[in-house]
């Protein structure tokens, strides 16, 4: 048939090859963002070249040139199917790249099979040339069955991998896998129809080569529609690379497809170490608690690092919703709010601490002491209150000045805090008075604590440039007396403290009922 008569068919093939090449280039240009771009581009580019070669085979008049094409066509055909196999393998098994244990043997076997075509002039077992009506026709030989078997092996392996992925997937991921399955079934069915049943409705078009356009188009649509090119427009409106919050975007498979510099800084990983890796691997390496929150489907979690000083992070996790109304990926935002937490802690300390002595203030004392008192009433456990009043403190202010008086208060508070337990609440009660609540402490043990504090205060004279300081103390205890209140208990310790004053100061007195 004259070339002019074949022109519509030739233009269709060239258009198909161009479209396949454009899609391949488009995906490859986004190789840093699109998963499996390398294997896809290999398949699409070789498929485009395959279409071009079979088109040239139909119009070249020179037998020598056509024989060169017959050497090249098996190479690009098998390279197309090899790219298809690699893509299916990476997609089905969620691989970042094809393992070398599979990559190298497959590439070597492909070269070996194509070598049968290149060496055909030596053995003539791949094809022979027959003249039919004055035209040179390629007659396939015994070795062609090897190429045909390898062709169906690659296609069958790819199909099996995608069927597996389809059965294991759901939702949008299943729709994506379904598109890939349709894309691979088209050339397989067309090849079976032409090779086995001699089906050829378009005699001047190589149907298996032409059908690759549908595979490339559907694969490209499934890759871009459900992967990075679809997700990034959804997320990019809220992603600014220079924002303070760390941003991670995952695709539907849970692979990280985007990370901004702030996220890389927080995770202490490079972009290469984050992108294209499962989000679970990233989170567990950073903070195991973050992975637990991710698996539990939590929307927000506060995290604390184990380092010193501790770092605080707020992690939020949200689904990215596509046009169909279902999740197509996830957006994770991580923010280092250590400064905020430290500021809140400082504000809280200001709210509960006496600014001069750094001891707890009276309000906070009552807040904790009430909790201890209720526990005492409920479980009949001992609670002791110690009231401390510095002796002749006005004389110290009048003699040495208020600056020295403030220093005395600070040193007394510091030494007392250093000698009490963590559960005990030591507070400045007012002026030169301090108060101490001691849960789970009997009267006998409370008196021992009071005596230890009294001696420590008396020993401060050497640290205060000769200023003599002593304290009078009173101790009261309750063991869950139902008719007693916290205020009454504190008043009892205050009465006992005044008994110490009247007895000569610088001593400890226990409260005793007047009825005794």
Largest CA distance in the chain: 136
CB-count burial class (<10 Å; 0-12, 13-18, 19+) for 317: buried
- Is 465 an annotated catalytic residue? no
| DSSP secondary structure, 18-83, as one string | HHHHHHHHHHHHTTTTSTTHHHHHHHHHHHHHHHHHHHHHHH---HHHHHHHHHHHHHHHHHHHHH
In the predicted model, residues of the chain with pLDDT beneath 50 are 1, 228-239, 516
Q: What is the DSSP track for 219-270?
A: HHHHHHHHSHHHHHHHHHTT--TT-SSEEEEEETTSBEEEE-HHHHHHHT--
d(CA 223, CA 476): 77
Nearest to 429 by CA among 473, 376, 373, 482: 473
| Fold agreement between 232-341 and 353-510 | no
pLDDT score at 30:
60
For tokens 């809280």, what's the residue? 348
What gap in Å lies between CA 96 and CA 325, rounded to an integer?
Answer: 28
Q: Dihedral sign, CA of 122, 123, 124, 125?
A: negative
Residue 387 CB neighbour total at 10 angstroms: 28
d(CA 36, CA 243): 29
Give CA–CA dist 369/504, Å, rounded.
30
pLDDT of residue 446: 96
Contacts of 207 (CB under 8 A, 6+ apart): 190, 193, 194, 199, 200
C-alpha 186/C-alpha 212 separation (Å) is 8
CA distance 226 to 35: 11
Question: Which of 93, 137, 166 lies closest to 102, judged by CA?
Answer: 93
Q: What is the pLDDT of residue 172?
A: 65
Distance from C-alpha of 82 to C-alpha of 44, rounded to nearest angstrom: 11
Please, what is the Cα angle at 460 between 455 and 462, to 5 degrees? 125
DSSP string, 392-434: THHHHHHHH-HHHHHHHHHHHHHHHHHHS-SS-EEEEEETTEE
d(CA 121, CA 109) in angstroms, rounded, equals 21
Per CATH, the homologous superfamily of domain 353-510 is: Reverse transcriptase/Diguanylate cyclase domain (3.30.70.270)
pLDDT recorded at residue 237: 42
| pLDDT at residue 35, rounded to an integer | 58
Domain 3-226 = CATH 1.20.1070.10: yes
State the catalytic residue, choosing from 90, 245, 253, 432.
432
| CATH 3.40.50.300 is held by the domain 232-341 | no
Domain boundaries defined on the chain: 3-226, 232-341, 353-510
Host H or E run for residue 129? strand 127-132
């Amino acid at each position: 048939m004259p070339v002019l008569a074949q022109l519509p068919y030739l233009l269709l093939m060239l258009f198909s090859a161009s479209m396949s090449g454009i899609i391949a280039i488009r995906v490859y240009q986004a190789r840093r963002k699109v998963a499996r771009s390398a294997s896809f581009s290999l398949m699409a580019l070789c498929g485009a070249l395959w279409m071009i070669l079979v088109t040239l085979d139909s119009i070249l008049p020179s037998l020598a040139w056509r024989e060169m094409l017959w050497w090249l066509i098996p190479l690009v055909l098998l390279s197309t199917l090899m790219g298809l196999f690699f893509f299916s393998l990476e997609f089905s098994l969620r691989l970042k790249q094809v393992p070398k244990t599979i990559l190298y043997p497959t590439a070597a076997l492909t070269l070996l099979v194509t070598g049968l075509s290149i060496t055909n002039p030596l053995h003539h077992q791949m094809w022979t040339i027959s003249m039919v009506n004055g035209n040179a026709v390629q007659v396939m030989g015994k070795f062609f069955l090897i190429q045909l078997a390898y062709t169906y092996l690659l296609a069958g392996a790819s199909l099996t991998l995608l069927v597996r992925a389809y059965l294991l997937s759901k939702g949008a991921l299943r729709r994506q896998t379904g598109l890939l399955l349709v894309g691979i079934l088209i050339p397989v069915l067309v090849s079976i129809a032409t090779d086995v049943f001699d089906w050829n409705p378009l005699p001047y078009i190589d149907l298996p080569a032409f059908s690759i356009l549908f595979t490339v188009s559907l694969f490209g649509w499934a890759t871009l529609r459900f992967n990075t090119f679809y997700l990034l427009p959804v997320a990019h409106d809220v992603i600014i690379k220079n924002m303070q919050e760390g941003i991670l975007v995952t695709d539907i498979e849970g692979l990280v497809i985007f990370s901004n510099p702030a996220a890389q800084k927080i995770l202490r990983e490079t972009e290469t170490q984050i992108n294209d890796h499962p989000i679970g691997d990233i989170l567990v390496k950073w903070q195991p608690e973050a992975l637990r929150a991710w698996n539990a489907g939590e929307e927000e979690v506060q995290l604390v690092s184990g380092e010193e000083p501790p770092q605080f992070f707020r992690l939020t996790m949200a689904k990215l919703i596509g046009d169909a109304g279902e999740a197509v990926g996830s957006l994770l935002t991580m923010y280092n709010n250590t400064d905020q937490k430290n500021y809140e802690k400082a504000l809280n300390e200001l709210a509960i601490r006496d600014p001069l002595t750094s001891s707890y203030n009276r309000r906070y004392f009552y807040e904790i002491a009430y909790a201890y008192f209720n526990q005492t009433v409920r479980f009949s456990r001992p609670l002791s209150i110690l009231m401390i009043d510095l002796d002749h403190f006005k004389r110290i202010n009048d003699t040495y000045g208020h600056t020295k008086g403030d220093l005395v208060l600070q040193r007394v508070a510091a030494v007392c805090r250093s000698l009490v337990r963590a559960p005990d609440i030591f507070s400045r009660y007012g002026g030169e008075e301090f108060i101490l609540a001691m849960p789970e402490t009997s009267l006998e043990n409370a008196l021992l604590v009071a005596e230890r504090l009294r001696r420590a205060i008396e020993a401060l004279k050497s640290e205060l440039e000769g200023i003599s300081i002593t304290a009078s103390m009173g101790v009261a205890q309750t063991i869950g007396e139902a008719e007693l209140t916290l205020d009454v208990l504190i008043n009892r310790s205050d009465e006992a403290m005044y008994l110490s004053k009247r007895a000569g100061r610088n001593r400890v007195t226990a409260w005793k009922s007047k009825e005794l």
